[in-house]
Amino acid sequence: MPNLQHPPFDPDASLNEFAGVGKNRRFDEIIDDEEFEDIQVICKRGDEMIPLAKPSRAFYFGDRNLYDQEARRFDQEEKARILNTDQFPRNLARFEELKRSCQRGFVIPFVGAGMSKSAGCPEWREYLLNLCVDANLNRDAMRARLEEYSDYEGVINDLVTALGVNRFNLDFERDFKTPDDIAGATTLLPKLFDSSVITTNFDRVLEKVYENDAKSFVEKVTGRGHASAFFRAIPAGDRYLLKLHGNLDNAAERVLNKAEYDTAYGNDGNIHFDFPLPKLLKRLFTSYSFLFLGCSLSADRTIQTFMRVGQLEGQDNLPHHYALLACPTDAAKKAAIDQRLADAHITPLWYPDEEHEHVEQILELLLD
């Protein structure tokens, strides 16, 4: 009878893997960093210091128990630092819950404009404001609408109306040309989510990132197109990209100006689940966990749809959803966002305002 307490020997395992070398990548990098002075592995001959090529390896083989003890302590401190648990004490439990869901393959990333900025594209709000001069619109008034009311839909509609949709599209294609060298948090997505992805972005950053990782999407579908294929792809584990608001160059399936939003979501200020996008989002939101990345989750029609789904279905009938969000410095604004997220059954992992590097660090933690 096999011994169930020990996994079978893997004949393909390297000697390093068999010995456990490299299992604590972050810790090893710190030990091997000559400028890091908190932990040092020293070799001396009398008073002479002898440099070590790999101090982490000497530490590992020299005292395995102490190495493991220090590595665990380092991991705990790093996790607390990255998750800002002093400022946001609920982050740790929320992160562990999210990580378990990711490891089980239950989570679909929902990618917004903030992730494209980290990849080298223009910041969406500033991009829109910079168009105000060409559109002969008051920049300060537009900024107030974006910052105070998150009226992206209205501002974009006014810009497109003033510039003309063809001019807007041509400028966008040039200004949001996918960078040749993409860095940042977006590059971690293929490693974390080797399956289906949802985005509201019009750019092609995600396509490029997955292609660079030799994991090109099998198919791309749009929210107003043949989205049923996306549902079949998820349980099959196929790599599909759902571009929720379509592509700029396809007006029939695009959601950009007010008329297109009304066609997709309904036109009387309410969310109608017999319209294409609310119907699609309801089915997805009640079936799978989302991780919102680079999304402001402001009071636009997408988040309004999720809030309405939460109302109709009840919190107990929804999977857990998560978001990595910058915490507003204004307490009233944070309270309003907290309430909106709670109504939509979305759990935030907060990080300090404007410190968006934490998104990449949290994704790296999910990979560990």
Closest CA to 363 of 190, 180, 112: 190
Angle formed at CA 252 by CA 247 and CA 253, multiple of 5 degrees: 45
Hey, is 109 helix, strand or coil? strand
CA distances from 14 to 10, 21, 23, 24 (A): 9, 10, 13, 16
Tokens matching residue 193: 């989510």
User: Are 224 and 276 in contact, with CB atoms under 8 Å apart?
Assistant: yes
Crossing angle for the helix pair 91-103 and 64-83, to the nearest 10 degrees: 110
Amino acid found at 56? S
Q: What is the pLDDT of residue 350?
A: 98
H helical segments located in 219-324:
228-236, 258-265, 276-285, 301-313
* Domain annotation for the chain: domains and CATH numbers: 1-62 (no CATH), 91-120+182-367 (3.40.50.1220), 122-175 (no CATH)
Residue 5, pLDDT > 70, answer no
Sign of CA dihedral 167, 170, 171, 176: positive
DSSP 107: E
Q: Cα separation of 55 and 72, whole Å?
A: 17
pLDDT, tens only, 110-146 = 999 999 998 889 999 999 999 999 999 999 999 999 9
Residue 337, pLDDT > 60, answer yes
Average pLDDT over every residue of 250-255: 89
Q: Cα separation of 98 and 104, whole Å?
A: 10
pLDDT range class, residue 51, cuts 50, 70, 90? confident
Q: Cα separation of 332 and 48, whole Å?
A: 60
Better pLDDT: 64 or 327: 327
Average pLDDT over every residue of 94-117: 96
**pTM to 2 decimal places:** 0.88
pLDDT range class, residue 7, cuts 50, 70, 90? very low
Across all residues in the chain, what is the average pLDDT? 90
pLDDT range class, residue 287, cuts 50, 70, 90? very high
Q: What is the pLDDT of residue 20?
A: 67
User: Are 222 and 177 in contact, with CB atoms under 8 Å apart?
Assistant: no
Which backbone phi and psi does 173 adopt, to 5 degrees?
A: -60, -40
Which backbone phi and psi does 346 adopt, to 5 degrees?
A: -115, 125
Which backbone phi and psi does 356 adopt, to 5 degrees?
A: -70, -10
Hey, is 335 helix, strand or coil? helix
